[in-house]
Amino acid sequence: MSDEDVNPYELIGVGMDADDQAIKSAYRKTSLKVHPDRNPNNPEAARLFHELNQAYELLLDPLRRLAVDTKLKAKQVRKERYKTYDNKRKVLVEELEERERAFKRQRANKQRDDLKRYQDTERVKEEGRRLREEKEKELREREHERVATPPPRPEDEPPSIGATDTTVRVKFTLAAHPELATKEALSSLLAPFGPTDTDAIVLSLKPPKKNPAGPAKNGTALISFKRIGDAFAAVCASGQAARGLKDVDIAWVGSKEPEIIGWLKSTGKLSAAQPPPTPPNAHTSTRATESAAFSSFPLSFPTSFPQSIPEPTPSAAAATVDYESLTLMRLRQAERERLEREIRDQESEE
């Protein structure tokens, strides 16, 4: 048994001032309580009984008891002295805990402030990025509009002729006009209005729906005139029996009037009214008189505006066609091909 770990007086059940007789009497009473024979179900009974015997022998030895008493008294003095320090210790502990709590609060507040500043900075950066992107997008759109949108044309300046402004769409039935089954026949039909590009005519003959393998019933053609005034005259004469155009529908390609025609009408240079038709056998000595017979297209049109688009012959093309004319020719050819595809698509849908 260790004297420091176990108080022998407490183990036997007596005070420090007890004599040997009191110690023996108390030992007998306590030993009867903790004896292993009396506590067969207690696994600690043997250990307690052994410690009780050691305490009993120690207290009956005067020298050993004197050493134990000295240690116990010193321990008691120490305990009493430390008891007076408890209040001061509590105050110090409370102060330390309060300082620690204040430090934690300060650190938490600092972290919260740092987080708020970081979030505000990121929000400002994001807003700046958004404004910059919107500004750049607006500038790009303005630049695109500036590049894509041509400068406004003066009111007194006529618009340029488009690649298909001299092209008309001709629709007819082969039952009424069986002779119009070739490009040459179509070119001859419209020859009184002006020269046409026979090689560039796009002709499509459509069989009836009920008999797709049978003979063609309807015809559609795209015909390009050399001059826009001639194309306008042909459109004005659409369906006129006096011109041999009964059951022949002539309209602008794409069902849209060329911009130049609208400009002529708006400026008073071209009347929308149709003049009375000229008899089929009427003879005209000049091309100007013939054109005037078909429409009110101005004969004295400003020379600064070309009424026709020059198309050089293949033999002289390399020497006479400049870049602009060549580009225009290619645009017209591409537009004809596109329109031909549209005609065929419409016929297949019908």
DSSP characters for 111-162?
Answer: HHHHHHHHHHHHHHHHHHHHHHHHHHHHHHHHHHHHHHSPPPPPTTSPPPPP
Please tell me the number of Cα atoms within 13 Å of 182 on its side-chain side.
Answer: 4
Secondary structure (3-state) at 298: coil
Q: State the pLDDT at residue 307.
A: 46
CB 200 within 8 A of CB 336: yes
Q: Where are the domains of the chain?
A: 167-349
Token pair of 206 as six digits: 């459509």
Which residues 6+ apart lie within 8 Å of 32 measured at CB? 38
CB 209 within 8 A of CB 220: no
Mean pLDDT of 38-62: 88
Q: State the pLDDT at residue 320.
A: 40
Distance CA(238)–CA(225), nearest Å, equals 15
Specify the higher pLDDT residue, 297 or 182.
182
Q: State the pLDDT at residue 324.
A: 56
Specify the higher pLDDT residue, 321 or 28.
28
Is pTM beyond 0.85 here? no
Positive or negative, the Cα torsion across 93, 98, 101, 107?
negative
Nearest residue to 238 via CA among 156, 134, 168, 149: 168
CB 225 within 8 A of CB 231: yes
Distance CA(107)–CA(89), nearest Å, equals 27
In the chain, % of residues over pLDDT 70: 77
Mean pLDDT of the chain: 77
Q: What is the pLDDT of residues 252-280, one digit of tens each?
A: 887 778 888 877 887 777 764 444 444 44
Mean pLDDT of 29-55: 87
Q: State the pLDDT at residue 70.
A: 92
Please report, as a single letter, which amino acid is at residue 131. L
DSSP assignment of 173-235, as one string? ETTT-TT-SSHHHHHHHTGGG--B-GGG-EEEEE--SS-TTS---EEEEEEEBSBHHHHHHHH
Does the pLDDT value for residue 287 go beyond 80?
no
Does the pLDDT value for residue 47 go beyond 60?
yes
CB 34 within 8 A of CB 49: yes
Mean pLDDT of 110-129: 93
Distance CA(1)–CA(348), nearest Å, equals 116
Distance CA(295)–CA(269), nearest Å, equals 12
Q: State the pLDDT at residue 298.
A: 57
Q: What is the pLDDT of residues 135-189, one digit of tens each?
A: 999 999 988 888 776 666 666 677 777 778 888 888 888 888 888 888 888 888 8
- pLDDT band for 284, please (50, 70, 90 cuts): very low
Specify the higher pLDDT residue, 287 or 186.
186
Does the pLDDT value for residue 283 go beyond 60?
no
Most confident listed range (43-57, 195-209, 291-305): 43-57
Which of the residue ranges 65-74, 194-203, 271-280 would you say has the lowest mean pLDDT?
271-280
Does the pLDDT value for residue 306 go beyond 60?
no
Nearest residue to 1 via CA among 49, 69, 60, 70: 49
